[in-house]
A and B are shown apart, each in its own frame.
Chain A
Amino acid sequence: MPSGFTHAPSPKHAERVACPSCDLLVDLPELEEGQRAHCPRCQHHLALSPRGGVVRPLAFAITGLILFIVANSFPFLSFKASGREQVMNLAQAATELMRHGSPTLACIVLALILIGPALSLACIVFITTPLALGKRFVGIATLSKLVFRIGPWTMADVFMIGVLVSLTKIASLATVVIGLSFWAYAGFALMFVATMASLDRRLLWQRIGDPSK
């Protein structure tokens, strides 16, 4: 019997982490592609080994940004009542609030539905492009921190539900025509969710690595 058998190698551990949600020390197992690891104590999602590494979120983010440009270039919705027609573009969801005396609310809406999500996707493109090529650049950690900091404040998906609710609210008042921009923004929201779901925080930071090393 080979001696190696009696001293079987301990199971291979990818990394030791502390659960951010309950502080339990966990030895993460080596994950296969598409596998997830959860905290054994609080079930917090600890790690995901995403299929396609950083290339997949990069592809989603680029598609999302293209759709974002389309969403800002065409009519979003138009509204016909009493023989009059009004065309609304996406940015007017914020700028009209400004015109009707709610400048603070206008800024909040602008940040949540346009600036926040688009900035997130742009940052992810800037972060994952060099990582996919095996490179790093100064400031990559700062950009990455920004993405996770503004995460909960990016509400492209919530806005889409808001649009659907608005449509049912005014369907009885008038005829509403859905514009090209509406579909583009719906696609943008979808790409935004897909980007975030395919991006693993731990893997991304591992790729960014320690600047001291």
Chain B
Amino acid sequence: MSRFPSDSAAAQGLTSCPTCERLCQSNERTCPRCGTKIVVRKPASIQKTIALLVTATVLYFPANFLPIMRTEQFGNAQTNTILSGVITLWGHGSYVIASIIFFASVLVPIAKMLVLFWLCWSVTRARQHCQGQRAYLYKLTETVGRWSMIDVFVVAILVAMVQLGAALSIQPGPAALSFAGVVAFTMLAASSFDSRLIWDSLAKEETQA
């Protein structure tokens, strides 16, 4: 009984180079074309993904509860968290922008972490279903992730632009860095997950059939 489904490259002793996608022999040490190390499956993929996800989860709390920026206007200081920023925008009638920020900064990071945790858990199960849907979900988390950085850039631009001394100034808050960390660590987690693990479960069905 093979660990890999019979129509997969791994079952034939072949591996796609992770950098240039050349079909290499699995026992080759490095890709003859680009020199990248050849691995049949990413080593310790699930452990690495979970470690990175835990880091992102820990950072998610300061990112959401600490202020992301501080506005000083004629001596009055006002702090904003990610969520209070969304509420303010909504209150001013900028529904589209408020929705974009809510989606990119609040919903996407948490959904992405949950999906990746669930994928890590699901590939270790004995019986697995819905390979196609899980592969699609994984692809979605991979593509959508970078767009969460919007809020970090908003802080960077506002801090650079709004510096009128005592009249009006904006300072970055501690949540900005934590939030950038959440986005970066979930992106790293997504890239360390090996999506081929989702399909390897088909090997078990083949032997049962």
**Looking at the complex, which one of A20, A81, A95 makes contact with B18 (CB distance below 8 Å)?**
A20
State how many angstroms separate the Cβ of B108 from the closest Cβ of chain A: 12
Q: Is B124 interfacial (CB 8 A cutoff)?
A: no
Q: Are B160 and A212 in contact (CB under 8 A)?
A: no
Give chain B interface residues in 12-63, CB to chain A under 8 Å.
12, 14-16, 18-23, 32-36
State how many angstroms separate the Cβ of A60 from the closest Cβ of chain B: 20
Q: Is A145 interfacial (CB 8 A cutoff)?
A: yes
Give chain B interface residues in 105-125, CB to chain A under 8 Å.
none
Give chain A interface residues in 77-129, CB to chain B under 8 Å.
77, 79, 81-82, 84, 86, 88, 92-97, 100-102, 104-105, 108-109, 112-113
Complex CA–CA separation, A209 to B20 (angstroms): 10
Q: Are A166 and B158 in contact (CB under 8 A)?
A: yes
Q: Interface residue count for B (Cβ, 8 Å)?
A: 68
Q: Are B160 and A88 in contact (CB under 8 A)?
A: yes
With A88-B161, A105-B180: A165-B195 Cβ-Cβ less than 8 Å: no
Q: Are B160 and A96 in contact (CB under 8 A)?
A: yes
Interface size class of chain A, counting residues whose CB lies under 8 Å from the partner chain: 35 or more
Contact with B along A36-49 (1 / 0, CB 8 A): 00000111100000
Complex CA–CA separation, A165 to B18 (angstroms): 36
With A105-B172, A209-B33: A81-B195 Cβ-Cβ less than 8 Å: no
Q: Are B35 and A141 in contact (CB under 8 A)?
A: yes
**Looking at the complex, which one of B35, B92, B156 makes contact with A109 (CB distance below 8 Å)?**
B156
Give chain A interface residues in 1-53, CB to chain B under 8 Å.
15-25, 41-44
**Looking at the complex, which one of A19, A102, A112 makes contact with B16 (CB distance below 8 Å)?**
A19
Complex CA–CA separation, A188 to B86 (angstroms): 29
| Nearest neighbor of B198 in chain A, beta-carbon distance | A22
**Looking at the complex, which one of B145, B155, B199 makes contact with A22 (CB distance below 8 Å)?**
B199
State how many angstroms separate the Cβ of B72 from the closest Cβ of chain A: 12
B interface, over-half SS:
helix
With A24-B8, A168-B97: A108-B14 Cβ-Cβ less than 8 Å: no
Q: Is A202 interfacial (CB 8 A cutoff)?
A: yes
With A22-B198, A163-B157: A84-B94 Cβ-Cβ less than 8 Å: no
Q: Are B163 and A96 in contact (CB under 8 A)?
A: yes
Q: Is B176 interfacial (CB 8 A cutoff)?
A: yes
**Looking at the complex, which one of B8, B187, B196 makes contact with A152 (CB distance below 8 Å)?**
B187
**Looking at the complex, which one of B34, B142, B199 makes contact with A24 (CB distance below 8 Å)?**
B199
The 3 residue pairs across chains A and B that have the minimum distance between CB atoms: A162-B153, A18-B9, A205-B20
13 new A-B contacts at CB < 8 Å, known A109-B152, A162-B153, A166-B158: A23-B4, A25-B7, A88-B161, A102-B176, A102-B177, A112-B149, A141-B33, A152-B145, A152-B187, A162-B149, A169-B158, A202-B20, A205-B22
Footprint of A on B, CB under 8 Å?
4, 7-10, 12, 14-16, 18-23, 32-36, 85, 89, 92, 94, 97, 100-101, 131-132, 135-136, 139, 142, 145-147, 149-165, 167-168, 171-172, 176-177, 180, 184, 187, 191, 195-196, 198-200
